[in-house]
Every structure is written in structure tokens, then in C-alpha cells.
Chain A
Amino acid sequence: MDLLEYQVKEWFGKIGIPVLPSQRIDHPTDLKRLKIRFPIVLKSQVHGAERAKAGGVRFAQTTIDAIAAAQNIFSLPIWGELPEVVLAESKYDANQEFYLAVVLDTAVCRPVLLGCKEADIDWESAGERMHHVVVEQEFSPFYARRLALKMGLQGTLMQSVSSVVEKMYQLFIQKDLDLVEINPLAVSATSQVMALNGKVRVNERAIKRHPDLAEMAAKIISRHSSTEINSILGNWNGVKMHGKIGILGNGTGSVMATLDLVANAGGNPGVCLNLRHAFLTDTRPTTFRDRLETSLKILEADKSIQVILINFLGSIPQIEEVTEVIARFVQQENSELQSQVVHSNGSKNSRERNFTPLLVRLAGSEFKAARKYLATLKTHTDALLVVENLDEAVAAAVLLAKPTVNKK
């Protein structure tokens, strides 16, 4: 989950990273009660990048200027997102600008400190100018000094920069971050440092153990549509593609292998979900059964999905209840189908009736009872197919998703 700049700066201020006096503006008229001095900068609080280029950052000398600029910003969507908040901040005269970051490097399994004496980094060729220090053991401020010295800083500037890095690291650990970035860190003529902009990415798996973050996530979920949630909260343990075959599985690797098989067999994979983890959108603890129920609803509501392919093998938690969920889904589809058949005299093809056939691949002795039970369900011919072999399941799903088969 990415925080907005004003949220980042609240955190920075609390932990002692220098930030400019600023004020949160929820409505242009708030500018009449401005507590900070002009000239100010007004910044759109959106998640998308390049907001300055898009016109989301404006300078103002007077209240009238500021209100006009704020009205402008509030009505300017950036990458499809309208700001709910605008940040008003004092202007700062920078002599020099640096880049600083703390990031978790999953390849070395350690946090890494990054620093560069330029703020506008061209990532393609940052190699020589970007310095890094791997935090091998427990953090101690010397790691931060090591970075500052590698950046070529000296004296008080070396100390003030390393002190900022140290605080960034504290925040990183305290809040379970994947990334904390200051870009730029401005240096004034008198060598004072100031974080002009910051970015914080919270680890998705840790959100629920921080009540303040869980609350932020819940707000995002209540305000935005599911695709936006995805881009703000991060990857929700699934892959979103736009094909016709929705895939559900009980492990990442298995879901990905199924996706590959579907694509190689000429099918188009749609939303693919891994039910092994709780979803990020779940604010309360969930069970496997809950996740299956939610996923079936998501896939059913997705207009592009024509077939749902479930791939479970080995063992899953709460197997009896999970079988019930599948049975209920199929029966409900079936009854809807029948009522629609009566009303439309069977003249339309099944796709237009929002009917999503289910293909269930179950392998393993734990599923014996489930397979038997599902086989007893009386369904429309296409509604449910239970298969044991993965390649067969995939071939059947691809065949079912072909429009020619459905127009019978």
C-alpha cells in the first residue's frame, strides 16, 4: 500500500525527519484559514506519478491565487484519480537536491540503504551515481554514516544526512515498509536538510498488524472500485488479465502453472486468484472457505469471465465446507438459469444469461468424498465438470470458453 504525500509527511514529522510547515486542504475555502506563510506550493494528493507534469503542483503568492489553483487541482484527475486532499506547503529554496531510500531487497534478504547526490535520477544509468549499503546485521547508525560517506558528504552535512537515513530506517522497521524514499532531500545554502517529497510503501502482508494502517486500507477499500484498490493497495495475491477463463487455486505456483497451461492451449486467462493467503481487501481474518466464496463472487460479477477453472490438489483447509460452497454456487447458477429459460423461452444463448460454468480439477484422496458428492448434483450439462487430470481440465476449460461451443 502506498501512502499519500501528506500522510508520509505526518509520519516524517513525528519521527523527526525535517519537513516544511504544511497544511491539509480538504476544500479550496480552507485556504482562507491558512496558518502557513506565502508563498506556498499546492500539491495534488494522488497515488499516480508525474503529478507535476500533469499540472498537479502549483505555486501561489496570495489567497486568491491559491484558491483558484486549488479549485483547479481538485478538478484535475491524474491517471484517473481525483485528489480528495490538496497539500499546501511553504516554498523552500534548495541549493542542492539528493535522493535517499531504504528498501527491502528480497534477493539478498536484507534492507538496503540507497543514496544519490542527484534527485532526478535516470534509473537506466543510475549505476555509478547511486550508492548503496546493505544492512547485514542489526541496524546501527554507522550504516547510515557509511552511506553518507559513500555519497561523498563531509562534516555537518554528512551527519545531518545520515541522521535522516537513520530515522528513515526506524520508520521502515516500525511500520513494516517495503520502501521509504525521500526525493528530493533539499539542502539549503546553510546546509540545512529538508524532505520536500516522500514516498512510503507498506508491506501488504503486515498491514493488519498496524491498526492505523488497517484503518487507512479500509478507507481505500470503501472508497474505490476493485481495480483501483489493486493499484493502490498492491498486488492482492492474484493476477489480473482480461481473458475469459477465471482461475482459482490453492497456491501461487499452481495458479501460475494453470495460467500457463490455459494460455498454451489457446485460451485466454482472466482474473487468477490464489486462495492460500487472505486477500488484502479482507479487513477481518478469513478462512479458505470465505476466500473461495468471495472469489467465486468476484469472478461471477466479472463480465469477461465465461468459465471458472478451479485447480485444487493435495489438501485444502475445511474441505467439506468448501465442497458446499461449490455446490451452492452451481445450484444457484442452475436455478437462475432455469428461471431465465422459462422467461426467455430458451431463445438466448447461455452467455447472455450471466451463467458461468465451473470446471473443478480435484486431485488427491482427500477429495474423494468431494468428487462423489459433486457428481450427484443435478446440473445443467455445462454447469459443473469435475476432472482429475490437469491437462484435461485445461483443455475442457478452453473448449468451454470458445463461443462456437456455446452457441448450440
Chain B
Amino acid sequence: MNLTPESKVLIQGFCEFISSTHVAQMKAYGTNLVAGVNPGCGGQELHGLPVFDLVEEVIEQFGAIDTTIICVDPYDVLDAALEAIASNIRQIIIITAGVPPLDMVQLLRKAEACETLVIGPNSPGIIVPGKILLGTQPSEFYTPGSVGIVSRSSTLTYEIAYELTKAGLGQSISVSIGSDAIVGSSFLQWLQILDEDETTQAIVLVGQPGGGSEEAAARYITEAIDKPVIAYIAGRQAPPGKTWRQTGTLATVIGRDPNFGTAQSKLAAFKEAEVPVAERPSQIPELLRKEIN
């Protein structure tokens, strides 16, 4: 993961999820935004960025691009990402929410084959407080410090950053991997990145019902992470979702627990991994303090 202020960043598409404010905020944060790609708008300027019709035109003019931020309409995300991969961009952040899952399946096959890191969809991106902002995270909730945040929910990511900042605990890196059913990068990848990051001293992991990624993260924490981790799971009181019979059928078929995907299963996994779990966002600073001191 290249998170230096020198890396060149592109924005593909301008939909409701990105505004002039976001672009201005990224620039103010020192992010090296070079251009935007919006088919049909080549030659214009949008949100203060020169606009091109194709990614390859941007590369012709500015050279290799490190990261692209995709904000096109949901049905155009796959195409935009494939275009980026074809132009040798190896870090993709998808802000757009609601991408059809089969498009993601296709994108992930391609990304795996080309060793491309895909963050999102439905992600506000990454922030290294005081250094770089890649995406739409509201920087005002952040202060530089030593707590890493990895989350599956956009707004909750800032909610937690806000609580930490209010309590005087700064953050090292904060990423939301996206809350759609199928997303690119995993908790495991980010736990590893945060574990290796020298500034990070403790990690907050934020999960929600659905899938098995929190359970996998809990096992990984026991096996491979030495830094203290605090977890928070939203949606404990929500009625169980209806995700086909994924909690039943497929579970038994592929040898999964019938509880698969529920908040309870995630809480049990963290308990087994001896990872403290916060009851509410405002409780996280106090749990972190216990672990750090």
C-alpha cells in the first residue's frame, strides 16, 4: 500500500458521493490529485481538476498513476475499474455504493490475477491523519496519533475517530473497507498493514452482521497480531437479516455454523480471541487506554 503524499491520484467519475468539498479537502490535505476522468467531459474542468475521457490519456500526460478513486454510478464501476487495471493502476478505491455483486465477482477475479488492491465498494477510503487523504473521509474528526482504525462501515469509521479525537487519542491510519456484501480488501489484509505500520500502537476493528470476515479477523488476531485490538460490532439488536438461507443452507452445505453471519457469532469469536469488545462507540477510548497503558 503506497500511502505517501507523492503518489499520484486520479478520480474516475463524479456522482453524488463526491463533491467539490471532498476534492478541495483532499487537496488541502496534500493529496497529489492530478486529474479526473469523466467520459464526455474531456477538456473541461470539474471540481478544480482537469478532466479527460479516458484513463490512458491521463497517464500519457502525467505518467503512471498510483491510486484511482472511483465515484462513477454503480452500474459503471466494473468498467471503470477494469479501465484502471488496464492502465496499470494497482490501487483502486471505490466510493460508489450499491455495486451489483456479480460485477464485484468479476472485478475481484481480475484484480487477484493482476495483484491489484481494491478497497470498497461503498468505502470512504483511507486517511493518514496529518499526511494524506484518499477518499471522502471527513478529516476534521481526525488528529494524528497512534490508533489504527479498520472498519466495514463508512459513517461508523468517523464516529469512532470522533470519539477518539474527543478523548485525546490520535489516529495513525483509518480505513473503511466498505459495507457492501462483496468488497475487495479484507480485514486480514488491513490488520497486517496496521500491524506492520510503525506509527500504529493499537487497532480498533469495527464490524457488523453479515459474512464471516470478523470471525476470520478474530482468529488472525490470535495467531498473528501482537498489537492490542479493540472491537466494536454494530447491529447486535437488529433483527437477523434475510440473506437467502446463507445463515442456514449454505452454512450446513459448506460446513459452516448455523449462526454464521450473525452479530452473536462475531461477538463469540472476539471473546474466544480475548479481544475486548466495546458496547458503544463512546466506550472505545476507555477500553483502548486500558490496553495501551
A3 CB-CB contact with B under 8 Å: no
Known: A251-B154, A251-B179, A259-B238. A203 touches B102 (CB 8 A): yes
**Do A314 and B104 have beta carbons less than 8 Å apart?**
no
Known: A138-B109, A235-B241, A269-B237. A105 touches B246 (CB 8 A): yes
B-contact 0/1 string along A126-149, CB 8 Å cutoff:
110010100001100000000000
Pick the contact of A124: B104, B109, B159, B252 (CB < 8 A). Answer: B252
CB-CB under 8 A from B243, the residues of chain A are 106
Instruction: Please choose the segment from A109-117, A302-310, A342-350 that sits at the chain B interface, where 4 or more of its residues have CB less than 8 A away.
Output: A109-117
A236 to chain B, nearest CB (A): 12
Known: A105-B254, A253-B156. A277 touches B97 (CB 8 A): yes
**Do B74 and A264 have beta carbons less than 8 Å apart?**
no
Which residue of B is nearest A257, CB measured?
B234
Pick the contact of A257: B100, B156, B179 (CB < 8 A). Answer: B156
A377 CB-CB contact with B under 8 Å: no
Would you call the interface of chain A mostly helix, strand, loop, or mixed?
Answer: mixed
- Kindly state the separation between the CA atoms of A254 and B206 in the bound complex, as whole angstroms: 11
B236 CB-CB contact with A under 8 Å: yes
B181 CB-CB contact with A under 8 Å: yes
**Do B282 and A314 have beta carbons less than 8 Å apart?**
no
**Do A314 and B155 have beta carbons less than 8 Å apart?**
yes
**Do B102 and A206 have beta carbons less than 8 Å apart?**
yes
Question: Which of A205, A272, A365 gathers most chain B CB within 10 Å?
Answer: A205
Pick the contact of A390: B104, B234, B282 (CB < 8 A). Answer: B282
**Do A239 and B239 have beta carbons less than 8 Å apart?**
yes
Known: A205-B99, A253-B179, A254-B156. A259 touches B237 (CB 8 A): yes
Considering only residues 288-331 of chain A, those with a C-beta below 8 Å from chain B are: 288, 313-315, 317-318
Considering only residues 240-260 of chain B, those with a C-beta below 8 Å from chain A are: 241-246, 248-250, 252-256, 260
A370 to chain B, nearest CB (A): 13
Pick the contact of A109: B152, B182, B253 (CB < 8 A). Answer: B182
Known: A137-B109, A205-B100. A366 touches B154 (CB 8 A): no
**Do A260 and B280 have beta carbons less than 8 Å apart?**
yes
**Do B102 and A104 have beta carbons less than 8 Å apart?**
yes
Considering only residues 244-284 of chain A, those with a C-beta below 8 Å from chain B are: 249-254, 256-257, 259-261, 263-264, 269, 272, 276-278
CB-CB under 8 A from A123, the residues of chain B are 245, 248-249, 252
A residues with CB within 8 A of B: 103-107, 109-112, 114, 123-127, 130, 132, 137-138, 172-173, 176, 178-179, 201, 203, 205-206, 208-209, 234-235, 239-241, 249-254, 256-257, 259-261, 263-264, 269, 272, 276-278, 287-288, 313-315, 317-318, 363-366, 390-391
